Structure 1
Amino acid sequence: MLANIGAFLSSGENIAFFVFALMAIGGAIFMLSLTKVVHMLVALALTFLSMAGLYVILDAEFVAFVQILIYSGAISILMIFGIMMTKHQGEEIEPKRPWHNALLFIGAAGLFGIIFYVIQTATLTTGEFKAPEDNTMEIGKLLFSQHVIPFELMSVLLTVAFIGAIIIAKREEE
């Protein structure tokens, strides 16, 4: 069992995966456990950036670039502007729950133990993955040939959501 861990950590790619995975999990945990909204947003941005790092390790550079550009950049800035433009009466402090953190840690450690055991005992078949020469071109071909209708439906859905947000914002001003 320890030999498997040693073999896993012998590669720099696996160490980078481990670091990015821990950063993603840590950012998600911080996002859920922090109380100030801006701090939660910074933790969410850390999760987005670490997910982009995982995409780079998986040789999906286009998806990593889109992850950084859209989620880490645009969505985070949009959330910050939303926080800054809304009125906050005061943040409510939750009552102290002494057993909450202990139970949370026990549950997370148990889940980690179960996942670790399953991964260590699983027999995975090895195969050779042959990545295409240009990932971006292949994504574009699939997006505009086989998946063109869902792509257009998503653009219509996002436009309707944007118009709805503007209407709701106008109503709140009145």
Structure 2
Amino acid sequence: MMFSGEYIIFLCLALVALAGGILMLSLSKVVHMVVALVFTFVSIAGLYVLLSAEFVAAVQILIYSGAITIIMLFGIMLTKHNDQTFPHIKRWKKLLILLSIFLFAAVTFRSISAVPFDGQATGLHEENTKQIGIELYSTFIIPFELTSVLLLVALIGAIILAKKDDEEANESEQ
């Protein structure tokens, strides 16, 4: 059986994504977890490129690998916490986690293999950024706007909570 270059790249990116996810769950230091998460984000962006969704891949790199990771690192650095290792997970819990991962992979593989892939999709590679924009601002305009309102409420809530913490810190100093 001959493997194409696209298939080999897919396997490499999928392995990096899985390894990053597993490392994120199994590492003990929070900063190392964030670095493992970055590997997962970047490999998922590579998978988007393989699917000819270059715009989504660029957004994945800019938003998740860049902005979200920086926000997580700032959150880690600006909060008071002891960077101690987590208590050791018992052996039977590790085996249960491993069994759950393999069970999930088996169910996912079976579900995907049951889908009939009849024909080659045409037109997906043409102007995909334009297609995303049309769908986003026509079909999905209400969820898009609700998401922006939700993010605004979260931002206002974070400002209020930060202001309360600042006021309590000033009162305790006096």
Q: How do residues 1-174 of structure 1 correspond to structure 2 at under 5 angstroms? A: 6-7=1-2, 10-91=3-84, 93-95=86-88, 97-109=90-102, 111-112=104-105, 118=110, 122=114, 124-130=116-122, 131-173=124-166, 174=168
Instruction: Decide whether the 8 Å contact of 1:132 with 1:138 is kept in 2.
Output: no
Moved more, 101-110 or 71-80: 101-110
| Greater Cα shift, 87-96 or 135-144 | 87-96
Query: Which structure 2 residue ranges, 5 or more long, are not aligned?
Result: 169-174
Deviation at 1:62, TM superposition (A): 0.7
Structure 2 length-normalised TM: 0.83
Question: Does the Cα contact within 8 Å between 2:29 and 2:85 map onto a contact in 1?
Answer: no
Q: Using the TM superposition, give the Cα deviation of residue 93 of structure 1 relative to its aligned residue in structure 2, in angstroms.
A: 3.7
Deviation at 1:132, TM superposition (A): 4.8
| RMSD, aligned CA | 2.3
Q: Which runs of 5+ in 1 are unaligned?
A: 1-5
Question: After TM superposition, which residue ranges in structure 1, 4 or more long, deviate above 6 angstroms?
Answer: none
Give me the whole-angstrom Cα distance separating, in 1, the residues matched to 2:135 and 2:116.
Answer: 29
Aligned residues: 166
Per-residue deviation at 1:112?
4.3
Could you list the per-position Cα deviations for residues 37-95 of structure 1 after superposition, in whole angstroms to 9, with x for gaps in the alignment? 11111111111111101111011111111010000000000010011001114525414
- Flag the 1:15–1:119 CA change in 2: closer, same or farther, 3 A: farther
Shift of 1:110: 5.1
Are the counterparts in 1 of residues 136 and 144 from structure 2 also a CA contact under 8 Å?
yes
Q: Distance in 2 between matches of 1:121 and 1:146?
A: 30
Q: Find the aligned partners of 1:29 and 1:71 in 2 and give their Cα distance.
A: 18
Q: 1:121 to 1:164 in 2, by over 3 A?
A: closer
Distance 2:103 2:62 in 1: 35
Q: TM-score with structure 1 length normalisation?
A: 0.83
> Is the 2:17–2:44 Cα contact (8 Å) retained in structure 1?
yes
Structure 1 pair 68–90 and aligned structure 2 pair: CA distance change class (3 A)? closer
After alignment, is 102-111 or 13-22 more displaced? 102-111
